[in-house]
Structure 1
Amino acid sequence: MANQKFDWSRFTIKTPIKSDVKTIYGAWTIPSKIESWFLRSAVFHNPLGQQRKPDEVIKVGDHYQWLWHGYPDEVMEKGEILEINGTDFLKFRFGKVGIVSVKIKADEGKSIVELTQEDIPHFDTTEENFHVGCKTGWTFYLANLNSILQGGVDLRNKGDNEAYMD
C-alpha cells in the first residue's frame, strides 16, 4: 500500500438527525435558531451593514459575528455567508479556519447533515491544529442540534463565559 499523507486541509462528517430538512435548515439560517443549539450570540449584517433581525433568514454576502458559551466576548468568530440555496445547503467562511459547507438531505424518517470544512490551515503544533479542534467541535454541536430538536435538552455548558479559558 502506498504511503499516503493525511489531508489536514479538510474533513467531512455526517450525522443523522431526527427532524425534517426544513427545520434543520432553519436552525442553520435564522440567527435566533442558530443560538438555540450552537452559539451564545449570532449577529448577522447584510452587505449594506444593516443588522438582520433575530428571526430573519440570512443571505449570501451577510457577515457575521459569533460568540460561544464558555468564552469571553474577546473570543469572537467573524465570517461571511458565501452560498445559500434556501432549502438544504449553505456555505460560509469560518473565520481563519476555513470554509464550511452544510448539506441536508432526507433519509427514511430522519435527515442527514453532511458538514465539510476545507481550506483548513495546518500547523505542526497541537495547539494550532484546527483540523482536530474543529472536527471535534462540529461533532459535539451537531449532537447538540439533534438533542435540541428531539426534546430540548441543551448539552452546552452555559455557565461563566470564561470557564474554558484556563
Structure 2
Amino acid sequence: MDQTRWSKFKLCGDYNVDLRSLYLAWTTPAGLEKWFLRKADFFTVPQRLREAGEQILKEDTYSWYWHGYDNSMVQTGSILEANGHDFVKFTFSGGSMVSVNFSTRNGLTIIELEQTNIPPEDDPEKNLLVQCQVGWVFYLANLKSVFEGGKDLRNKRVDLPGCFK
C-alpha cells in the first residue's frame, strides 16, 4: 500500500473576494478570528504579541484557541513562510505542515491548501488525515460564507460538543 497517499492532501476553493482581503484573513490574528479561530495569538521572535491587524511573519509562533473548547485546548506551532502577498506555510497537528497558496483566475481568488507530513495512524478514529481534511473543508466553506455572505457557520457553544467548532 502506498503510504505517501495517506500522508498528504490538497483542497481548493474559489472565492468572489479580492486576494488581498483573503490573504489578510489567513495572516492576521483578527482575520483568522473572523472565520476560523476563537482566538489567534502570534508571537514575534522576541516574544512580543502581535496586534490584531498586524501581519504574521516567518518564524512567528502561535497559540490558537477553538470555539467550543476552553483555553486548555490550544494548538501551538510556528510560521514557516509568509511572503506578505500570496503564500503562507505553518506547522500544524501531529507535526504536519499546511501550505496555503492564493491566486486569481477568471475574476475569482483561488485558495489551494495542502497539508503534508501527516503521520500514519492505525486507529481510524484518530486518523489525522481524515480529521484534518474534514475540518479544512468546513473552514474553507466557512471562509466563503463569512466573506461572501456574512454568515458565520461555526458552533460557538461549549454546551454542544461534537458539532463543528
TM-score range, shorter chain: over 0.9
Q: What SS class does the counterpart of residue 114 from structure 2 fall into?
A: strand
Q: Show CA shifts across 1:75-102 (max 9, x none).
A: 1100000001110000001142400000
Aligned-residue offset at 1:72: 2.2
Q: Which residue of the partner structure matches residue 61 of structure 1?
A: 59
Runs (5+) with no aligned partner, structure 2: none
Q: What SS class does the counterpart of residue 42 from structure 1 fall into?
A: strand
Letter in 1 for 2:150: G
Runs (5+) with no aligned partner, structure 1: none
Letter in 2 for 1:63: T
* Structure with greater helix share of residues: 2
Residues matched between the structures, number: 163
- 8 Å Cα contact 1:40/1:69 also seen in 2: yes
Letter in 2 for 1:142: L
Aligned-residue offset at 1:127: 2.5
Aligned-residue offset at 1:51: 0.5
Aligned-residue offset at 1:6: 6.2
Distance 2:78 2:4 in 1: 28
Alignment of 1:1-166 (within 5 A): 7-160=5-158, 163-164=161-162
Letter in 2 for 1:17: Y
Q: What SS class does the counterpart of residue 44 from structure 1 fall into?
A: strand
- 8 Å Cα contact 1:71/1:162 also seen in 2: no
Q: TM-score scaled to structure 1, two decimals? A: 0.92
Q: What SS class does the counterpart of residue 122 from structure 1 fall into?
A: coil
Aligned-residue offset at 1:49: 0.7
Q: What SS class does the counterpart of residue 110 from structure 2 fall into?
A: strand
Distance 2:11 2:116 in 1: 12
Letter in 2 for 1:68: W
Letter in 1 for 2:14: P
